[in-house]
Structure 1
Amino acid sequence: MSPARPLHWLRLGWADLMRCPLPGLLHGLAAVVFGGALLLLAGDSFWLLAGAFSGFLIVAPLVATGLYAISRSLELGQRPDLATAFAAWRPRDSRLVIFGLLLALAGTGWVLTSAALITTFAGSVVNSPADFLRVVVLADDDRHLFEAWLVLGAILAAPIFVSSVVAIPLLLDRGDSVLDAVATSVAATLASPVALALWATLILALTMLGMASLMLGLIVLLPWLAHASWHAYRDLVGPDDGARAA
């Protein structure tokens, strides 16, 4: 697979968003409202903000399940609407719930590990985002704590990304178990590591761009990435009509 293939997924995802914009934009708006509420509730509590942000990044692909259904419907030549997105959340299908709980546990593990690292090695107490900026990011010493924090985050995020990059759209599209979905996701990543590394970088960069715009950019960026993720799944795994769950 070409290393630049993720750019093709973004093009296809944008086309899906333009063909059926309402469900995606409503998803993005709901995420922004929820994120704003978290910021208000967290206030200056750095670790609560860090937990909320990490949880947002990790669980967002699961929340986008309805948008995968929109892309699948467009792929089949149908005319999806908001009901198509809502129908993706079937109460009888517990696999998405199980996977969501696993992602939530992973996010909690990162926040706790991050807190332990900063608390142990920071030059002073970090209780607020301003403290983190001053004590960790802009620290003028030889601790290299910020660099270590970034490396630790990458090490912990990599297996989460590898195990979930196609797992969630696969669970929507097929009747595979959670374990099989994770195994397929890992195999897809190992088969195209350079392309998937670029994909992870694009997801992070676009998400950070959305955050930097007071989160307003996420109204468009989140559904765009969700639709693109469906095409990444299709490209990496391919259709299997005989095994579809839906």
Structure 2
Amino acid sequence: MRESPALVESRRFGTRRVPVLRPLGWLAAGWRDFMRCPLPGVLHGLALALFGGTLFWLARDQFWLLSGAFSGFLLVAPVLATGLYAVSRALQREGRARLATALAAWRPRDSRLVVFGVLLAVAGTGWVMTSAALITGLAPAPVRNPVEFLRVVVLADQGHLFEIWLALGGVLAAPVFASSVVAIPLLLDREVGVLAAVFTSWRVVMDNPVAMALWAGLLMGLTLLGMASLMLGLAIVVPWLAHASWHAYRDLVDSSGLVARP
């Protein structure tokens, strides 16, 4: 049986196995990049914090919708950090970066990143709709605020709504994480097709299942902490994790055999 051209392309370069605790090193490297060039990161983080705060205000009495929207944020976050990957790449290549470095990455000149961003947006929207339909359809009482979500969904005496909600979220989030964890930095850095980048991302996860599970947990936990601090923590968490994700890609993928993008 003839293999997919994208799968063949993804085998032109290798993936690396890393120690289980290596994600902690990515966090340390990401923090160093953030401190070296903080302005782009703070602006990215503040923009997302402002968006989250606005969303919360507009739908503050519809927590059945907000719960899906905020968890769906985790699905689309990789593409929102594209400009910060560019900053880390510039720091690695040239030893310096500016705000213009991050802004240049957002120019719609690369259709591959646009395609990947649209796919992640579709996945995030699908989860928001699924989450809202599940909670409004199966919850025994209205869910209008965080307290009601906790009482009616999380701590409900009967039924398994929270377990079902988590399971469905995991079913969607796991393949999205596996498909994107190094794909977007790879697309930004090298001339490679979208499907080849996705296959590479899956190879990375399969080669490092425990380390990548730890990395997924750190991404989720720190993002939730940023949201829990009235969104203000996102101004720090978003750039920190974005820069760390660039170092994860550089550790996990041997892309030296591919043509570098300018």
Same fold by TM-score greater than 0.5: yes
1:115 to 132, 147, 151: 132
Q: Does 1:21 align with 2:38?
A: yes
Aligned to 2:3: none
Q: Does 1:179 align with 2:195?
A: yes
For the 8 Å contact 1:45–1:129, the answer to whether it is kept is no
The correspondence of residues 1-246 of structure 1 with structure 2, limited to 5 A, is: 1-141=18-158, 143-240=159-256, 242-246=258-262
Residue 20 of structure 2 aligns to a residue whose secondary structure is: coil
Seen in structure 2, the aligned counterparts of structure 1 residues 148 and 55 have a Cα distance that, compared at 3 Å, is closer
Q: Which runs of 5+ in 2 are unaligned?
A: 1-17
Between the aligned partners of 2:172 and 2:258, the Cα distance in structure 1 is 35
Q: Which runs of 5+ in 1 are unaligned?
A: none
Residue 32 of structure 1 aligns to a residue whose secondary structure is: helix
Residue 223 of structure 2 aligns to a residue whose secondary structure is: helix
TM-score (norm 1): 0.93
Between the aligned partners of 1:82 and 1:136, the Cα distance in structure 2 is 43
> Shift in Å at residue 183 of structure 1?
0.8
Between the aligned partners of 1:23 and 1:62, the Cα distance in structure 2 is 15
Q: Could you tell me which amino acid in structure 2 is paired with residue 225 of structure 1?
A: L
For the 8 Å contact 1:61–1:168, the answer to whether it is kept is yes
For the 8 Å contact 1:170–1:181, the answer to whether it is kept is yes
CA deviation vs aligned residue, 1:197-239 (integer Å, no higher than 9, x gap): 0000000000111111111111111100000000000011034
For the 8 Å contact 2:45–2:234, the answer to whether it is kept is yes
> Shift in Å at residue 195 of structure 1?
0.4
For the 8 Å contact 1:55–1:104, the answer to whether it is kept is no
Between the aligned partners of 1:49 and 1:120, the Cα distance in structure 2 is 15
| % identical equivalent positions | 66
RMSD: 1.7
> Shift in Å at residue 153 of structure 1?
1.3
For the 8 Å contact 2:190–2:255, the answer to whether it is kept is no
User: How many residue pairs end up in the alignment?
Assistant: 245
